[in-house]
Amino acid sequence: MARIVVIGAGLGAMAAAARLAVAGHRVTVYERGATYGGAVGRFERDGFAFDTGPGLLHLPAVYRDLFVKTGKEPLEECVALTQVDPASRHVFADGTRVDLPNASRAGTVAALDAALGAGAGERWGDFLVRAREAWDRTRRPLLEEPQPADPAPLAREPYPALKPGLLRRPATTLARIGTRELRDPRLAALLDAYAWTYGFDPATAPAAAAVLPYMEQTFGSWYVGGGLRALADAVYERCLKRRVEFVFDTPVEDVLEKDGRAVGVRLAGGDTVEADHVVSGAPVPALPPRSDGRPRHQVLGTSRVTVCLALRGPREPAAVHRTVVHADGDRPTVTVLRPDDPALRPDADHESVTVTATVRTSPERDAGAWEAFADGMVEAAGRAVPELRERLLWRHVRTPEDVRRDTGAAEVPGPALAGADGLLLPAANRSPLPGLWFAGGWSHPGGGLAHAGMSGALVAGFIVEGADFRGSR
Ligand SMILES: Cc1cc2nc3c(=O)[nH]c(=O)nc-3n(C[C@H](O)[C@H](O)[C@H](O)COP(=O)(O)OP(=O)(O)OC[C@H]3O[C@@H](n4cnc5c(N)ncnc54)[C@H](O)[C@@H]3O)c2cc1C
């Protein structure tokens, strides 16, 4: 039995903690905040409740696996999972609207043809075929296996060129796919929105980011009853059942090192704790850069602004769960979430709605600038929620500073992507210091609920099975 200290109670770190405890290790989590979950938080006021982090789950298989491997009750017995259908409504700048069904390629093609004109669906479907090629080429090394010792092959673009042979024209950025291959500004906006949602700028994101819409449209979007915070509750409960110990309000200030190995941590206040392994789920610290001078982890420079809206009046029966209102002039693309969930509202005569936008973390803005930005977001959300202004009781704006308070970093890391010269690969789980491991969104395979959950599985695999661990088969 090894003594394992885990830094932070984010989802990635808790996933590692539960698995390590089941393997017979003594696991203690030190969390700087007063609660678990990190980004997966909740804001409550006057009987309204809002997810302050992700509002939907993709690839629930990652959490199903965690629950199967760490106990008797499967995930579905611990949380109420439902597929969101339609997966999303899109409102484009020109006013066109389309509802995309959940995980149905044929349904998506038909919906796009009907809304955008004949041929649009086929172009999107053909694009998804190429996106699938990129997914198949990178799924194992970028999601299911540890980062390869030599990640150079992952620096190459996996998205296939449009035409073979002499007409071969490799796509360079996601935005280029939009103009060259989708040939409709609304389809291009649809593609761009997937990149922005995960924090990537489509103008610079590699074509490899095509795996993001492929992943969502193939494996579906899921809601957790009571809000996504209920998933954090369930993972925390699972950790407690496996006798993981949690110490809250206790930041870790340093990792102790002896003879070139991590041997414990120093807590705020000066106490030290010895450990055989340290798993850090905190934002990866400023590691020394790689020998070629580049950072060891992904640098996106983006975060999220979330506006929680408390509305009077019932949610209309035809409302959809997720609407993406696409950018229009200076107004950003916003995602409007309207879960039909009694747990999130005081009664049936009220509704809680969240509106989220991806923003750059620099230059910094003051409180007034954020309120003005939120005004634009609410105006955009008005295209998804009828009579929004008249129904608004109050709003609460959460900025990247709130994200920093919840997680330790204002930036929200994205999933690992191939291409881009390897710049979008996160830090490896195995840190440069033996005995210190990285889990969570800042490490392989990157940010997002499912990816961070996988990081926990990989770190636990390394510690339990040894350095030769190659991923669970
Ligand atoms: C607003 C927002 C929207 C998001 N939307 C989506 C989405 O739509 N889809 C999606 O998949 N993902 C989304 N994400 C990302 C997703 O929530 C995270 O990637 C996921 O929760 C995994 O987080 P993590 O494991 O990296 O831990 P984090 O949530 O980053 O938590 C880190 C934890 O470590 C603690 N900590 C930090 N430093 C220390 C220290 N020194 N000592 C002790 N504890 C420390 C922090 O307090 C925190 O609890 C969103 C995130 C945010 C913030």
Pick the CATH number of 3-40+60-79+226-291+425-465 from 3.50.50.60, 3.40.50.11540, 3.60.20.10, 3.40.190.10: 3.50.50.60
Percent of the chain whose predicted confidence (pLDDT) is above 70 = 95
Q: Which of 35, 36, 40, 228 to mutate to test the pocket of ligand 1 (most atoms within 8 A of CB)?
A: 40
pLDDT interval class at 98 (50, 70, 90): very high
Cβ pair 41, 52 in contact under 8 A: yes
Whose tokens are 């609920």? That residue is 449
pLDDT digits over 40-56, tens only?
Answer: 999 999 999 999 999 99
- Residue 297 in this model has a pLDDT that exceeds 90: no
Distance CA 211, CA 448 (A): 14
pLDDT digits over 117-129, tens only?
Answer: 999 999 999 999 9
pLDDT interval class at 35 (50, 70, 90): very high
Cβ pair 417, 209 in contact under 8 A: yes
Q: What was the pLDDT predicted at 285?
A: 60
Distance CA 242, CA 231 (A): 17
Ligand 1 touching residue 60 (CB < 6 A): no
Distance CA 160, CA 419 (A): 12
pLDDT digits over 107-116, tens only?
Answer: 999 999 999 9
> What does the angle CA 166 – CA 168 – CA 174 come to, to the nearest 5 degrees?
165
**Extents of the domains making up the chain:** 3-40+60-79+226-291+425-465, 106-114+123-217, 301-407
Atom 20 of ligand 1, nearest CA residue? 449
Q: What was the pLDDT predicted at 161?
A: 84
- Cα 465 from chain centroid (whole Å): 27
Q: What was the pLDDT predicted at 287?
A: 59
Cβ pair 54, 228 in contact under 8 A: yes
pLDDT interval class at 283 (50, 70, 90): confident
Region 377-404: what's the mean pLDDT? 97
Q: Which of 247, 255, 412 to mutate to test the pocket of ligand 1 (most atoms within 8 A of CB)?
A: 412
Ligand 1 touching residue 285 (CB < 6 A): no
Atom 51 of ligand 1, nearest CA residue? 53
Distance CA 325, CA 91 (A): 5
Region 15-34: what's the mean pLDDT? 98
Q: pTM for the whole thing?
A: 0.96
Phi, psi of 406 (to 5 degrees): -80, -35
pLDDT digits over 410-436, tens only?
Answer: 999 999 999 999 999 999 999 989 999
Region 315-325: what's the mean pLDDT? 96
